[in-house]
């Protein structure tokens, strides 16, 4: 380094792409490199020895001059950012000298250079940061624009949700009226033709409701407004209930529905039972829709993921029309159907599977399809559930009693046999079609404790089975018990004299298909116990029956219905009458407060059914007044159930926050209404 000549150093400094000025203690220019010449238009040689404030009058009293003084006198280095003064010296882009539009933005470093102690010098290095600043400004502008766009999108999203909430409310309100009125109409004396018309109108209204629910769900998912609940529920019951409510449609088409949950322990889990039901209902309803003959199998199992999580795996397969392989991957996209003719023939929106997939993904899982045209379809989904600490004890086992299962459906027979074996029974399975000949002797020669017989087998076969059974029972002290597996609509049983007479026999019990594990266990327990058949509970029928109340009870219950819509008033009153209650009507929140006050001393109301959106005073305001205003002190504890068409995320919470006890979405489900009323009257 020491050998470098001054010429070389001088040339190197002149080649630099930063500006360099060196000044002495008097702030006179000692050196000025080429870059400065190029950007200031001043000649290098002419500047040496001149005070810097003469070369650049802007220097006088500037931050730069203060920095140079500090460097020279105290040795303090400085870096002058361009934020406060972007162009401290008049320096321009090379080809635009003197044009203020092309002043360059400068970042300046100032440092003392001491060659020996007697000649302190100060070096000023000037960086052109114009490009960097421009880039920063562009980025900032973009960020601002993004922010504005984001704000705009947020506002649009809010309006969309608000629109959805309004639409949901506006559409549900009249559908509630239509469905409710039809329910009431169906209870009146109707001619056959009228019944037919009313049934068709009900189906159409229900279809419309499903359609609206689908579109709303889809939009809610899109807007990120769909909430997944976390409540404790029994997985097996949830699946059984869903299949039970749908199976009748399949059975009416002559399709066998088989639920195999032998691989599922009775699990108490935490998750969203309504969304799980929605997924299964959707897949099942498609399976029923696209299958003309054969069967639908629902296989369920759970595996442990870790100490706190379970993976639920459900496989819904059918023997229907199937799906061409190349179409399978698109089915989960919105508004996709296999082809346009599907809509013509089967209806639908092509939204069901999209919603199903989104729901699975929201619950930590996914769904796939396996299908071939003409060869049925399989939809397999899985999702994650939290384990609940609450342990349900397993159903009691029976010790190795011999049982015979006679089913015309292979899968159904195998599933039942597997289930019975799990309960410790010694099971023999007989296919009603192929093993007919050996069947009779088997019955006569084996001392079966229970015979499970599919009631849909050939009448001749059924008759012979019972004859063989009568022969066997002659030589046995214990009569063999029979569980007849019937279908839900039971219409064929009514038309068969044989079945009707068999059902009245003392040792014959009935159980509807699809078989619910718990009901099967109960029937077996009943068969093995000495209890009379008269006390037998027909679970399947009971679940769908309305509770009826004594007249005396009705008179004591005081319900106030707060509802502004005339038709919905009629609907609610009709439904209440049907389940054994009467109610007074208030046409808005104000009217409700009036009635509550009038009645609080004499006959206070025990329950209020409160609509939310009403003119003059809405349900939220009315509830707040009831709970907090001294005028209604005597009624302040009355139970209030919201009955509203507001079904968006947060609506239920809004009702509870206002002080209501419970929430019912419109259209009102009559059995849920009965359940909630009974619950709140008891509390
Ligand atoms: P939708 O049934 O309302 O049209 P989905 O999203 O539920 O909408 O189904 C989309 C399409 O996938 C259906 O139109 C049908 O073409 C096909 N599909 C769904 N499930 C089945 C099934 N089990 N068998 C045959 N095709 C099916």
Looking at residue 161, what is its pLDDT?
67
Higher pLDDT, 107 or 203: 107
List, for residues 560-590, the tens digit of each pLDDT value.
999 988 788 888 888 888 888 889 999 999 9
Q: Which residue's CA is minimally distant from atom 23 of ligand 1?
A: 287
- Predicted local distance difference test score (pLDDT) of residue 209: 84
CA of 424 to the centre of ligand 1 (A): 41
> Is the pLDDT confidence value at 542 over 60?
no
Query: What is the whole-number distance in angstroms between the Cα of residue 487 and the centre of ligand 1?
Result: 26
Which residues, judged by CB distance below 6 Å to any ligand atom, belong to the binding site of ligand 1?
Answer: 286-287, 290, 318, 320-323, 331, 337-338, 342, 348-353, 377
Q: In what order do the strands lie in the sheet with 402-407?
A: 426-431, 402-407, 450-454, 481-486, 508-512
- The closest residue, in CA terms, to atom 11 on ligand 1 is 337
Give residue 324 CA to ligand 1 midpoint distance, Å: 12
Confidence check: pLDDT of 547 > 60: no
pLDDT of res. 530: 42
Q: Say how many Å lie between the CA of residue 375 and the centre of ligand 1.
A: 15
Summarised one tens digit per residue, pLDDT across range 118-139 is 788 999 999 999 999 899 999 9
Q: Is the pLDDT of residue 550 over 50?
A: no
Mean pLDDT, range 621-638, rounded to an integer: 90
Token match 């229907």: residue? 320
pLDDT at 593: 93
Percent of the chain past pLDDT 70, that is, above it, reads 90
Q: How far apart are CA 121 and CA 86, in angstroms?
A: 25
Question: Look-up: residue for tokens 């849920």?
Answer: 672
Confidence of residue 218 (pLDDT cuts 50, 70, 90): confident
Nearest residue (by CA) to ligand 1, atom 2, is: 348
Paired sense of beta strands 583-586 and 639-644, if any = unpaired
How far does residue 51's CA lie from ligand 1's centre (Å)?
A: 87
pLDDT band at 352 (very low <50, low <70, confident <90, very high): confident
What would the mean pLDDT of 236-264 be, rounded to a whole number? Answer: 88
- The yes-or-no verdict on residue 286 having pLDDT over 70 is yes
The edge-to-edge listing of strands for the beta sheet with 607-610 is: 583-586, 559-562, 607-610, 639-644, 662-665
User: What's the pLDDT score for residue 440?
Assistant: 84
Q: Are strands 295-304 and 309-318 parallel, antiparallel or unpaired?
A: antiparallel
Q: Which of 255, 294, 331, 347 to mutate to test the pocket of ligand 1 (most atoms within 8 A of CB)?
A: 331
Tell me which residue has its CA closest to atom 8 in ligand 1: 350
Q: What is the DSSP string of 436-492?
A: HHHHHHHHHHS--SEEEEETTS-HHHHHHHHHHHHHHHHT-SSPPEEEEEE-SS-HH
Question: Tens digit of pLDDT for each residue in 431-466?
Answer: 877 777 778 888 888 888 999 999 888 888 888 888
386, 272 Cβ separation under 8 angstroms = no
Comparing 119 with 616, the larger pLDDT belongs to: 616
Which of the residue ranges 203-207, 361-365, 616-620 would you say has the lowest mean pLDDT? 203-207
- Calculate Rg over the CA atoms of the chain: 41
Q: Which residue has the least CA distance to atom 14 on ligand 1?
A: 337
User: Average of pLDDT values for 17-24?
Assistant: 94
pLDDT of residue 249: 84
Tokens of 27: 């702030």
Write the pLDDT tens digit of every residue in 664-681.
988 888 888 988 898 888
143-175: per-residue pLDDT in tens? 999 999 998 888 887 777 677 767 777 787 888
Mean pLDDT of 51-66: 93
Interatomic CA distance for residues 120 and 572, integer angstroms = 98
pLDDT for residue 556: 61
Question: Which position has the higher pLDDT, 400 or 39?
Answer: 39
- At 398, the pLDDT band (50, 70, 90 cuts) reads confident
Ordered domains of the chain (ranges, CATH): 6-128 (3.30.450.20), 135-222 (1.10.287.130), 231-387 (3.30.565.10), 403-543 (3.40.50.2300), 549-682 (3.40.50.2300)
| 290, 298, 321, best to mutate for ligand 1 pocket (most atoms within 8 Å of CB) | 290
Q: Beta-carbon neighbour count of residue 200 at 10 Å?
A: 10
The conformation of residue 293, written as its DSSP 8-state character, comes to S
- Residue 219 pLDDT > 90: no
Nearest atom (ligand 1) to Cα of 376 = 24
Cα separation, 43 vs 54, whole angstroms: 14
Which pLDDT score, from 0 to 100, does residue 128 have? 94
Q: Which of 294, 339, 352 best tests ligand 1's pocket when mutated (most atoms within 8 Å of CB)?
A: 352
pLDDT score, position 492: 58
Looking at ligand 1, which atom is closest to the CA of residue 354? 6
Whether pLDDT at 619 is above 70: yes
Average pLDDT score over the chain: 85
* Mutation to probe ligand 1, out of 250, 350, 374 (largest number of atoms < 8 A from CB): 350
pLDDT at residue 203 tops 50: yes
How far, in Å, is the centroid of ligand 1 from the Cα of 353?
Answer: 7
Most confident of 42-51, 300-309, 310-319: 310-319
Dmax of the chain from CA atoms?
A: 136
Q: Could you tell me the distance, in angstroms and rounded to a whole number, from the CA of residue 288 to the centre of ligand 1?
A: 11
Hey, whose CA ends up nearest to atom 25 of ligand 1?
Answer: 322
- The pLDDT-based confidence of 495 (bands split at 50, 70, 90) is low
Residue 279 reports pLDDT greater than 90: yes
Q: In angstroms, what is the span from residue 361 Cα to ligand 1's centroid?
A: 19
The half-sphere exposure of 538 on its side-chain side, counting CA atoms within 13 A, is 16
What is the position in ligand 1's atom list of the atom closest to the CA of 349?
3
Query: Over 50: is that where the pLDDT of 283 sits?
Result: yes
300 C-alpha to ligand 1 centroid (Å): 21
Q: Using pLDDT thresholds of 50, 70 and 90, give the confidence band for residue 490.
A: low
How far is the CA of 318 from the CAs of 289, 354, 573, 637, in angstroms?
Answer: 10, 20, 42, 52
Instruction: Quick: pLDDT tens for 465-487.
Output: 888 888 887 776 677 899 999 88
Q: Whose alpha carbon is nearest atom 9 of ligand 1?
A: 350
Centroid of ligand 1 to alpha carbon of 204 (angstroms)? 19
């Amino acid at each position: 380094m020491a050998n470098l000549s001054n010429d070389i150093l001088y040339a190197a400094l002149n080649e630099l792409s930063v500006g360099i000025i060196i000044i002495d203690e008097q702030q006179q220019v000692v050196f000025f490199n080429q870059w400065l010449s190029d950007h200031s238009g001043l000649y290098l040689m002419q500047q040496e020895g001149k005070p810097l404030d003469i070369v650049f009058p802007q220097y006088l009293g500037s931050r730069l001059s203060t920095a140079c003084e500090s460097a020279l006198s105290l040795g303090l280095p400085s870096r002058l950012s361009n934020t406060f003064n972007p162009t401290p010296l008049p320096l321009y882009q090379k080809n635009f000298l003197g044009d203020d539009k092309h002043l360059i933005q400068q970042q300046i470093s100032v440092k003392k250079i001491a060659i020996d102690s007697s000649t302190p010098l100060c070096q000023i290095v000037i960086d052109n940061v114009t490009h960097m600043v421009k880039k920063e400004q562009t980025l900032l502008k973009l960020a601002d624009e993004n922010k504005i766009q984001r704000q705009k999108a947020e506002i649009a999203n809010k309006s969309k949700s608000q629109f959805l909430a309004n639409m949901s409310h506006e559409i549900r309100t009249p559908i509630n009226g239509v469905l409710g009125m039809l329910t009431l109409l169906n209870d009146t004396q109707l001619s056959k033709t009228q019944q037919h018309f009313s049934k068709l109108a009900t189906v159409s209204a229900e279809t419309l409701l499903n359609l609206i629910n689908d579109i709303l769900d889809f939009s809610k998912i899109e807007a990120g407004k769909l909430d997944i609940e976390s409540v404790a529920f029994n997985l097996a019951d949830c699946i059984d209930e869903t299949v039970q409510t749908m199976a009748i449609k399949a059975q009416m088409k002559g399709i066998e529905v088989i639920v195999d949950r032998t691989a599922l322990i009775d699990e108490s889990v935490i998750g969203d039972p309504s969304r799980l039901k929605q997924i299964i209902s959707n897949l099942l309803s498609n399976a029923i829709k696209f299958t003309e003959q054969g069967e639908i199998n629902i296989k369920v199992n759970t595996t442990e993921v870790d100490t706190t999580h379970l993976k639920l795996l459900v496989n819904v397969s059918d023997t229907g029309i199937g799906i061409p392989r190349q179409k399978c991957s698109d089915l989960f996209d919105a508004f996709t159907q296999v082809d346009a003719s599907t809509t013509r023939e089967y209806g639908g929106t092509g939204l069901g599977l999209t919603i199903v997939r989104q729901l699975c993904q929201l619950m930590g899982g996914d769904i796939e399809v396996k299908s071939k045209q003409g060869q049925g379809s399989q939809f397999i989904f899985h999702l994650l559930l939290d384990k609940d600490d609450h342990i349900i004890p397993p159903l009691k086992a029976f010790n190795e009693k011999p049982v015979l299962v006679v089913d015309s459906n292979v899968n159904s027979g195998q599933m039942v046999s597997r289930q019975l074996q799990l309960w410790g029974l010694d099971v023999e399975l007989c296919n009603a079609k192929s093993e007919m000949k050996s069947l009779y002797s088997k019955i006569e020669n084996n001392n079966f404790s229970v015979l499970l017989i599919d009631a849909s087998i050939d009448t001749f076969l059924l008759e012979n089975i019972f004859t063989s059974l009568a022969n066997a029972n002659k030589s046995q002290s214990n009569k063999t018990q029979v569980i007849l597996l019937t279908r839900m609509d039971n219409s064929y049983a009514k038309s068969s004299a044989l079945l009707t007479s068999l059902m009245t026999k003392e040792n014959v019990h009935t159980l509807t298909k699809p078989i619910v594990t718990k009901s099967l266990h109960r029937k077996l327990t009943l068969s093995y116990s000495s209890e009379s058949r008269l006390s037998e509970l027909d679970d399947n029928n009971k679940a769908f029956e309305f509770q009826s109340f004594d007249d005396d009870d009705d008179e004591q219950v005081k319900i106030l219905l707060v509802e502004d819509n005339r038709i919905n008033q009629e609907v609610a009153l009709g439904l209440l009458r049907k389940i054994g209650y009467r109610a007074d009507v208030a046409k808005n929140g104000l009217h409700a407060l009036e009635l509550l006050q009038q009645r609080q001393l004499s006959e206070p109301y025990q329950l209020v059914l409160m609509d939310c959106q009403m003119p003059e005073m809405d349900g939220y305001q009315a509830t707040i007044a009831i709970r907090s205003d001294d005028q209604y002190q005597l009624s302040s504890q009355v139970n209030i159930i919201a009955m509203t068409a507001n079904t968006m995320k947060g609506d239920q919470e809004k009702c509870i926050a206002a002080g209501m006890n419970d929430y019912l979405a419109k259209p009102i489900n009559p059995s849920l209404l009965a359940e909630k009323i009974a619950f709140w009257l008891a509390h």
